[in-house]
């Protein structure tokens, strides 16, 4: 049980509030097309090279690296990657909301300050939240458009904690990728919860 005096919860979005391998594949296909264009190669080659580069960077740096980091190392940019995502991707056909999520987030929002911090862009985030029925569930939604610095980022985390006006021990971070969503907050002294399934997410009712 999380016994610290939690006053706020910061949720990740993708893989945390929904799980969809089909949509993950669509996102990856878009990134592979961009990588292919950067290399002057077909999308299939771009995807293979992007995956290999991401794995190599993760091994070299000792933590999982994001797709955005690999795209930048390949010569692309995070804004261009997300411009493509915003234009090309429609999550609605690929995401089936779990009916337990909305009541959970609404109930927690009545007891805690609830924010969303995602590496996704504003356009796609709004589409996903609409698909999940969570458009009005969070007091604040922070997307990649706000900083163009993907998680994990020390400055983004420090600005978030300052804006919340809470001590680190009072802010619970919830996410599906420890290295991306949780390692840095935990290093700062925040409680964290790793969720890889919706069942894991539902455990919040018992933990808090």
User: Does one domain contain both 59 and 149?
Assistant: no
User: Does one domain contain both 63 and 128?
Assistant: no
User: Does one domain contain both 135 and 41?
Assistant: no
Percentage with pLDDT > 90 across the chain: 96
User: Does one domain contain both 123 and 67?
Assistant: no
Cβ 137 vs Cβ 129: under 8 Å: yes
Cβ 20 vs Cβ 13: under 8 Å: no
Final residue in a domain of this structure, among 88, 113, 128: 88
Cβ 82 vs Cβ 119: under 8 Å: no
Kindly report, residue by residue over 34-66, the tens digit of the pLDDT: 999 999 999 999 999 999 999 999 999 999 999
Percentage with pLDDT > 70 across the chain: 98
Kindly report, residue by residue over 114-137, the tens digit of the pLDDT: 999 999 999 999 999 999 999 999
Final residue in a domain of this structure, among 39, 72, 88: 88
Cβ 198 vs Cβ 176: under 8 Å: no
In a domain, 3, yes or no: no
User: Does one domain contain both 167 and 131?
Assistant: yes
Q: What is the pLDDT of residue 4?
A: 59
Check which CATH number belongs to the domain holding 181 and give it: 3.40.50.1000
* Helices 21-39 + 78-88 axis angle, to 10: 130
Q: What is the pLDDT of residue 207?
A: 77
**Segment 189-194 mean pLDDT:** 96
User: Does one domain contain both 63 and 114?
Assistant: no
Which structural domain range is residue 190 located in? Answer: 8-19+95-207
Q: What is the pLDDT of residue 69?
A: 95
Q: What is the pLDDT of residue 3?
A: 55
User: Does one domain contain both 74 and 118?
Assistant: no
In a domain, 56, yes or no: yes
Whether the per-residue pLDDT at 208 is higher than 90: the answer is no
φ/ψ of 8, rounded to 5, equals: -140, 150
Number of compact structural domains in the chain: 2
Cβ 30 vs Cβ 41: under 8 Å: no
């Amino acid at each position: 049980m999380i016994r610290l005096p939690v006053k706020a919860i910061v949720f990740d979005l993708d893989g945390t509030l929904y799980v969809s391998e089909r949509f993950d594949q669509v996102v990856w296909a878009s990134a592979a097309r961009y990588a292919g264009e950067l290399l002057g190669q077909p999308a299939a080659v771009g995807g293979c090279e992007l995956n290999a580069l991401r794995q190599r960077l993760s091994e070299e740096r000792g933590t999982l690296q994001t797709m955005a980091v690999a795209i930048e190392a390949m010569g692309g940019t995070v804004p261009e990657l997300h411009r493509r995502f915003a234009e090309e991707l429609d999550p609605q056909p690929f995401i089936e909301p779990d009916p337990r999520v909305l009541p959970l987030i609404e109930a927690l929002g009545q007891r805690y300050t609830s924010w969303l911090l995602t590496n996704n862009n504003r356009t796609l985030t709004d589409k996903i939240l609409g698909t999940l029925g969570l458009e009005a569930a969070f007091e604040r939604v922070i997307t990649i458009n706000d900083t163009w610095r993907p998680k994990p980022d020390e400055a983004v985390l420090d600005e978030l904690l300052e804006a919340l006006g809470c001590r680190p021990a009072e802010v619970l971070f919830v996410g599906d990728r420890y290295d991306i969503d949780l390692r840095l907050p935990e290093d700062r002294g925040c409680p964290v919860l790793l969720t890889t399934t919706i069942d894991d997410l539902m455990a919040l009712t018992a933990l808090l």
